Every structure is written in structure tokens, then in C-alpha cells.
Structure 1
């Protein structure tokens, strides 16, 4: 299905990259942007990320075949409530939020149910840099996109969203919202919180002086994601707190075990601990 009009609410890295990829693939006649910052929207037009923009929400979404919500999780419910008066039962709405249960709860709070044309999604791609200037039409190429449809989800709406992501080179799969949030609490949310924590730990210990001048590749690789958007990660932490706390506590137990091994200088067990992790990573992560 070729789209006549698409509206991107939140034309930053993810929303902008989606728009840029759709434009390159010529899958939509008109892509309109909406957001609170007119300067950023003007930049998006200048960079040919979107065709036009409006600061009036009703104008931005009027006649849209599809609306992509690329806003912080904490703003999702308010945005859904704002667009509700201006959409039809045929308007496909999808999102890119990193915690799906909270998004679906926001949808239910606004609409009283999950509308048949709402398709929850999460692209597993990004950069440390945010903003439309970082948008890239190949951002999702060879990356996974998870869709978490509800029993109410219209089959054609689901297929349309799936088709768009696949056109951008993404590997699309489906999960339940609950399993999605558990998996990404462990594999994405936990590593980000650990990176933030490590940088703060070293920054707060003045006895080390300017310790960051001595950091090498390993530290930079491990903490690269601590440069991620703070607002986004605050909202993720709030929206998926139960699963994140579970995996933080599991990691704490792993640290406690490692501390014991190092304190007791258990050479063989330390080696086994390291080699087990190395084998797992070498086998499963390319």
C-alpha cells in the first residue's frame, strides 16, 4: 500500500531516520513533521528528511494514512490524547517506544481500548547522538524491529507497518509486550544503566583526579552509551522499572559472586568465570 500522507510526531534521530528511509524508498507522497521546536522542523525540511511541517497538530495529522509517534515514553499518553480528536478509525498509528507495556497502557487510558489500527513497535537501532541532524536513511538496515501487536490489531494495519520497516532493511519479528519488556530490560536497559553508573562512579571519586584522561578503548567501548539521551533513558527507567530492577538485582548478585572470587584469589574459578562469558559472547554475538 502506497501512502499519500505520513505524519512524524517527533522528528529526531529515530523519527527522522524513518522518514528519510521512507522518502528514499518512495513509499509516501508527503511526509509531514510535527514537534514543539520549529527550528528543528525547519532543519528537517532543509535536510530533506520531511517535506513540510506544521506547528498545529490538527493540520499535521489531518488526512494522514499513518502517524509515527517518536516521542519520549513519558509524553506518549499526552500526545495520544492530543491526536485523538483528529484521526479516523482507519488512521494507522505506530510508535517506536522502548517499553511496550507502558505504551499500550497509555493507549488504553486514552481510547478505552487498543484501537484496531494501533501497531506497537520498537526499532533496535540508534546512536549516541540525537536530533534530526543525526538522521540516517540506513539506520535500520540489518537491524531488528520488534512489533508487539494486540489481539485487537487489524491484520492489514500490522502488515502495512511491517512492510514499511522491511523496506528500510529491517528484520521484523513479533513478541508479546510482556516478553519484549523483559528481554530488553536485560539486554538494553540494564547495559545503559550500568554505563551511566560507571561514569558517575569515576566522576564522583575526586581522589582519582581527572581519571578520564587515562581511559583507553575498553572504557570508551563500555561507556559509549552513557552519552545517550538522558530524558529518553529516564522515561525508560520509569516505564519498565519492574523488569529493570529485577535485572539490576541479578547483576548485583553476579558482582557479589565476582567480588568473593577476587577477594579470595580463587584463580581457577575466576578463569572459569571469564572463559564462560567469552564463549557465550563469541558464540552468540557477532
Structure 2
């Protein structure tokens, strides 16, 4: 039997927070959803779309009598949010998040919610998109997706179990990692690709013939750069929050680029083809298993 949520407070009503609210509504697991955000227009749209039932600009007011508080803001805003809600959180209200980095979120929870750590469950739903705002929220977003939980040493097992059940009810598969393990993995497979896409598009933008280049860009450019349409504030915060792991991968990629440059300069087609083949095989193996676990 999945525990129900009397009052769900979603702070940051966008793709992830809004879609989670919709999933809980569809599953019949929530009685009331209150959305919190800075934009009155976005909150009004969320009400019109049935994503939330009530709106507030005040996190402290909204979390009173809450059973679950999901903080789905950019990670750079979470410290202020935790600080605001700390004095008024109900004693057993579960606090979770949807950030793409976990070491910093765990540290912020320890700093701002020291008396509430038993009910803090950092989480990362792996269901990103280049869309944002309440209009991006959708039913079924988390079906056959993964959610990583990184509980604190102080987190109560029943709080972890409750969050796990709710994410499973949304259609997701739940995994547990240490925060540092999570951040190293996602620096490689999520954070670095976003930085590369942003940087590459900006390089094209600065070219003297940028307009002509963009005019002739086709499906390869579209597929490679899709994630450069993502939320700039969110990715600024992620880049800085996961700095150490991301720097390690940036340095490794710089070494790879240096090697690639040498091969092109030397006209070493054999080395290029061998690397291309190895990369293609690795990507094919990944793609064949994608979505099956």
C-alpha cells in the first residue's frame, strides 16, 4: 500500500516539479498541490492546466501542514528556500529535491535544515528536457525513467521508503547512490555534454559567417545541440555546484581533443577510424540497452 500525500508543496513549478504533481494526481496519491514560485504568470498557468490547486509566492506560508515538500528550483536557489522553510516545517514533513547535483544539496540541507535531517531525501529524477515552466509539465514523464536517491546518514528509512514509493508510482525505477558517486557519474554523462553543446553553439555564434552557418545547419547540428536550448540559470548553477567532478572530465576531454587535433594535423586516418569505430560500438551498446532497465 503506497502512502498518500495529504498536501504536496512544489517549490519551482516547471517540467520536473509539475510533472511529479501530475503523476501523483493521476495515481490518486495526493489531496492538495500547492505551487510556489516567483512568476505569477507561470503559477496562474499551472492552475489553469491543473498542475497545481493553489499558488503562493511565500515558501514559508505554503509549507505549513505539508506532508511532502519537493524543491524543484535551480540548485543555486535551494539554500534560500531551505532557510525560509526551516522554522515552519511540520515535524514529519518529508523534504526532497529534483536537482542534478547531490553533494551540494546534501550540504545545504545539513546547513539550513539541521533539525530536520531525518526527513530529508535528496533525489535526482533523470527526465530532463530543453523545455521549462508549467507548460512543460506532462503526464507520464517519469515512466520507464530512473530516479536516483542519495539519502543522508541521518535520513529515516521510512522517509526513504515513502519517496521511493511515490517515484515508483509515477512509473520510475528508483536507485540509491552516495552523493559523490552520483555527481561523478552525472558529470560525465549529463553535465559535460550540456557544457559542450552550449560552448559549441556559442563558438558558431561568434564566427564571422555565423548566419550562413546556422542557415545550412541540418539534422546533425539539431541532434548534437538540442540540449543547448536548456535553461541557462539551471545549468550555470549545476556547472558550479559540481565543479570538481566536472573539471576532471573537462580536463580529460581537453586531452582527447588534443589527441584528435594531432591525428587530423598528421592526416592519420587509421587512428581516426579506429577511435570512431570504438566510439560507435560503445554508443550502439548503450543505445540497445537504453530504456530497458
The TM-score range, normalised by the shorter chain, is over 0.9
Where 2:186 maps in the other structure, the secondary structure is: helix
Deviation at 1:114, TM superposition (A): 6.6
- Contact persistence 1:7–1:64 (CA under 8 A): yes
Gaps of 5+ in 2: 289-293
Structure 2 Cα separation of the partners of residues 65 and 208 of structure 1: 51
Confirm or deny that 1:116 pairs with 2:118.
Answer: yes
**Of 243-252 and 54-63, the range deviating more from structure 2:** 54-63
**TM-score of the aligned structures, taking structure 2 as reference length:** 0.95
Deviation at 1:208, TM superposition (A): 5.0
- Contact persistence 2:64–2:90 (CA under 8 A): no
Where 2:118 maps in the other structure, the secondary structure is: coil
Equivalent pairs counted in the alignment come to 286
Deviation at 1:207, TM superposition (A): 3.9
1:237-276 matches, within 5 Å, as: 237-276=239-278
Write out the 4+ residue segments of structure 1 that deviate beyond 2 Å after TM superposition: 54-59, 111-114, 207-210
2:200 corresponding residue in structure 1:
198
1:143 corresponding residue in structure 2:
145
- Contact persistence 1:32–1:54 (CA under 8 A): yes
Structure 2 Cα separation of the partners of residues 18 and 254 of structure 1: 39
**TM-score of the aligned structures, taking structure 1 as reference length:** 0.97
- Contact persistence 1:144–1:173 (CA under 8 A): yes
1:164-179 matches, within 5 Å, as: 164-179=166-181
Q: Deviations over 1:160-197 (max 9, x none)?
A: 10111111111110110001000000100000000001
1:90 corresponding residue in structure 2:
92
Structure 2 Cα separation of the partners of residues 234 and 208 of structure 1: 24
Structure 1 Cα separation of the partners of residues 23 and 32 of structure 2: 13
- Contact persistence 1:41–1:53 (CA under 8 A): yes
Deviation at 1:88, TM superposition (A): 2.6
Q: Do the aligned partners of residues 251 and 114 (structure 1) sit closer, same or farther apart at CA in structure 2, a change above 3 Å counting?
A: farther
Confirm or deny that 1:54 pairs with 2:56.
Answer: yes
- Contact persistence 1:114–1:152 (CA under 8 A): no
1:186 corresponding residue in structure 2:
188
Structure 1 Cα separation of the partners of residues 91 and 236 of structure 2: 33
Where 2:34 maps in the other structure, the secondary structure is: strand
Where 1:259 maps in the other structure, the secondary structure is: helix
Q: Which of 40, 43, 58 lines up with 2:42 in the alignment? A: 40
2:108 corresponding residue in structure 1:
106
Gaps of 5+ in 1: none
Structure 2 Cα separation of the partners of residues 179 and 208 of structure 1: 40
Confirm or deny that 1:225 pairs with 2:227.
Answer: yes
Cα RMSD of the aligned pairs, angstroms, is: 1.2
Deviation at 1:113, TM superposition (A): 6.7
Q: Deviations over 1:109-141 (max 9, x none)?
A: 113477110000001112111110011121111
Structure 2 Cα separation of the partners of residues 229 and 45 of structure 1: 22
- Contact persistence 2:145–2:171 (CA under 8 A): yes
- Contact persistence 1:185–1:240 (CA under 8 A): yes
1:76 corresponding residue in structure 2:
78
Deviation at 1:94, TM superposition (A): 0.3
Deviation at 1:284, TM superposition (A): 1.8
Confirm or deny that 1:283 pairs with 2:285.
Answer: yes
